[in-house]
Amino acid sequence: MTGLDLPATVDVREVGMRDGLQLEAPVPLAGKLAMLEALVATGVRRIEVTSFVSPRAVPALADADEVAAELHRFDGVQFSALVANLRGAQRAVDAGIAHLEYVVSASDSHSLANAGRPTAGAVAAVGEIAALAHGAGGSLEVIVATAWDCPFEGRTDPSRVLDVISTGVEQGADQLCLGDTIGTVTPRRTVELLGAVRQAAPGRPLGAHFHDTRGTGQANALAAVLSGVTSLDASVGGLGGCPFAPGASGNIATEELVYWLTDAGVATGIDLDAVLTAAAATERAVGHPLPSSLYRAGGRNAPRGPFVPD
Ligand code: ZN
């Protein structure tokens, strides 16, 4: 009995390998594989492992094919890849990854910066990409970027999100996700938009992707779960941002999410201490400190030492 009306389970998708690494200087394959092995050992059941996009646009993920070639070593994890167009989807399927995430920005300016075409052009490709994923035995999730706010246009009109959602569902999207691309959203706006999307696409699995840029990431995650969302993206150590969204930084940290979900009796299948081990592996791979507060505090029980002035 927690006093919170939470579901029995929440399905966490680990996005550190893709969203987390995409802004970093390219990490050698061995470092990525050490990170991946540590992430698999956490018990997480879904890992967004790379993206198949232009290596010029995102040099950090230029080794998508090499990473994909290693995935046969791991059992019990569903690996997915992010794609920005049909060509990327074909590359992913050819590399053996059939669970695809296709990003559609709900604002035209971000869509042009991210995918080189406005929202309507991007959403029109959902059908072909869904057919490709389904033909390969996989699935397609449509992720709506700039669902709440756009770095170039400010507030995104919710009707634009609902248009993307309804077209995406018509064209074969199996799952949906809303992305707070620049980390501006609040619990109130989280719940409002998730509720509207759920009404527009009843019965379709709906997840959320938050950034902690303004310190509201975990509050938004709680608001989302309280409103019925059972699928959340998170990144080990809080790594990550978006290269086409100025000012975007910091996905919600997997260990912080697992910390409060586990405390509330919500099963994630993820071991908190193993996530901290994975955060250490990630820190070694990227070569700089990670932003996660829980990781920097030393874990769930280790208090910082007493404050000693210089
Ligand atoms: Zn993100």
Q: How far is the CA of 181 from the centre of ligand 1 (A)?
A: 6
pLDDT at residue 302 greater than cutoff 80? no
With contact defined as beta carbons under 8 Å apart, do 100 and 81 qualify? yes
pLDDT at residue 290 greater than cutoff 60? yes
Q: How far is the CA of 290 from the centre of ligand 1 (A)?
A: 15
Enter the pTM of the model: 0.94
Percent of the chain with pLDDT over 70: 94
pLDDT at residue number 23: 87
Q: Classify residue 226 as exposed, middle or buried by CB count within 10 Å of its CB (0-12, 13-18, 19+).
A: middle
pLDDT in tens, 223-261: 999 999 999 999 999 998 655 555 556 899 999 999 999
Q: How far is the CA of 306 from the centre of ligand 1 (A)?
A: 35
pLDDT at residue number 59: 94
With contact defined as beta carbons under 8 Å apart, do 111 and 147 qualify? no
Question: Crossing angle for the helix pair 272-286 and 29-40, nearest 10 degrees?
Answer: 170
- The type of residue at 114 is N
Q: How far is the CA of 307 from the centre of ligand 1 (A)?
A: 34
Q: How far is the CA of 145 from the centre of ligand 1 (A)?
A: 9
CATH number of 11-297: 3.20.20.70
Q: Which helix (H) or strand (E) holds 14?
A: strand 11-14
- Quick one: pLDDT band at residue 146, thresholds 50, 70, 90? very high
Using CA atoms, how far residue 111 sits from 98, 105, 121, 244, in Å, is 24, 5, 9, 9
pLDDT at residue number 294: 93
When comparing pLDDT for 291 and 81, which is higher? Answer: 81
Q: Output the average pLDDT for the chain.
A: 93
When comparing pLDDT for 309 and 22, which is higher? Answer: 22
pLDDT in tens, 43-98: 999 999 999 999 998 999 999 999 999 999 999 999 999 999 999 999 999 999 99
Q: Which residues have C-beta under 5 Å from ligand 1, the single-atom ion?
A: 19, 251
Domain ranges, ordered by start, for the chain: 11-297
Average pLDDT over residues 17-28: 94
Write out the catalytic residue numbers. Answer: 242
Average pLDDT over residues 212-228: 96
Which of 52, 174, 160 is closest to 109 using CA atoms?
160
DSSP string for residues in 132-193: HHHHTT-EEEEEEETSSEETTTEEPPHHHHHHHHHHHHHTT-SEEEEE-TTS---HHHHHHH
